[in-house]
Amino acid sequence: MPRTTLFSPQLLDTHCIIDARTPLEFADDHLPGAINVPILTNAERVEIGTLYKQQGPQTARIRGLELTCHRFPSIVATIAEAAAGRPILVYCWRGGLRSESIALLLEMSGLPVAKLQGGYKAFRQIITGFFASVSLPVQLVVLHGMTGSGKTEFLNQLPASDWTVIDLEGLARHRGSAFGSLGLGEQPPQKRFETLLWDAFRRAPLDRPIVVEGESKRIGRLTLPGNLHEVMAESTKIWCEVSVATRVKRLAAEYARQAYQQPMADALERIKKKLGGDHYTDLQQRLEAWDVEGLARGLIEQYYDKLYYRVRKWEPQATISLEDYAAAAVTLKEACEG
């Protein structure tokens, strides 16, 4: 019988991780770096589950063999090619028959393989446990500032030798504002977001601070997991100052794509009540005329600055100017080291 192993993060770096679940399960979430080699299709899993409930496990297993046995050679070949000599770790939902079947096939083929004890469910417990009580071994630095300040762009050009940057908005595929989803595609499922975030923290070196952008509890339709938002509130907070003129230029540059015009109109419609009739009409007309800078300025003055940080109930440890990113990087390092 193939050996079983408990999950440890080191396995993600040493093994070829094989997810034996259906494509739908895989899309919802999976172990970092995992490759989906489903033993059953989405429809077949439903059929087998129904048989199991109605006629019992033996009938379900026989039907499972009928559906899958012709795939065994290609399953082994696909995994062997992906592994490229590395040891293999295979898992399914709870470490049951699906991962057991593939592990047996691989073992009989002479490939080094282990089955993840408890399957994805056990891994998921690791994720929820981490975020239930976030404890980081390095300094966490949180950048705050008004919409359009360029915080994300600044973060992503910080030198990796000095900082570990975790782009929360990039992982969530949302900028956390009314127009936050433009050009970023569909947001991942909540579980997938949490796994990506956990993996980013896992891979952070121990010799440099982690820096993130300040966010509300929600980023689009996703939620910062566990007590992470509270931990961020207690971490080193940096306020980023930028002139309105610079913010207008940065917002306009970000959104000046003709393909965004209709989604921007839809977003304006969603915040119509918060804007008020006159402001909404003004912004709508600017959008129709494709006056992107005028629209950006109007949003800053009539919406963003009235909505965000209206009452800041905390004081930052330092304030930096993001007018010049290179100079800001130096100032940020001095502030955090001081």
Dihedral Cα 72, 77, 79, 80, nearest 10 deg: 130
Above 70 in pLDDT, residue 41? yes
- pLDDT category of residue 66 using cuts at 50, 70 and 90: confident
- pLDDT category of residue 64 using cuts at 50, 70 and 90: confident
> Please, what's the b/e burial string for 192-212 (b: 16 or more CB within 10 A of its CB; e: otherwise)?
bbbbbbbbbbeebeeeebbbb
pLDDT tens-digit profile of 142-171? 999 998 999 999 999 999 999 999 999 999
Say how many C-beta atoms besides its own lie within 10 A of residue 330's C-beta.
Answer: 11
The answer to whether residue 16 is catalytic is: no
Strand arrangement, sheet containing 16-19: 3-5, 113-116, 88-91, 16-19, 35-36
Euclidean distance between CA atoms 288 and 76, whole angstroms: 56
**Where do the H-state alpha helices sit in the chain?**
11-14, 23-28, 42-55, 57-68, 72-83, 97-108, 119-132, 151-155, 168-172, 190-202, 228-233, 244-255, 261-270, 272-275, 277-288, 292-299, 305-307, 325-337
pLDDT tens-digit profile of 201-244? 999 999 999 999 999 899 999 999 999 999 999 999 999 999 99
Above 80 in pLDDT, residue 293? yes
**Residue 309 confidence (pLDDT):** 66
User: Which domains, and CATH codes, for the chain?
Assistant: 3-129 (3.40.250.10), 132-337 (3.40.50)
Please tell me which residue, 120 or 183, carries the higher pLDDT value. 120
Above 70 in pLDDT, residue 284? yes
Q: What is the pTM of this model?
A: 0.91
Please tell me which residue, 89 or 261, carries the higher pLDDT value. 89
Residue 36 pairs with which residues in a beta bridge?
Answer: 19
Among 69, 92, 240, 336, the active-site one is 92
Please tell me which residue, 265 or 30, carries the higher pLDDT value. 30
- Tell me which residue of 144, 256, 245 sits closest to 154, measured CA to CA: 144
Q: Which of 102-116, 179-193, 233-247 has the lowest mean pLDDT?
A: 179-193
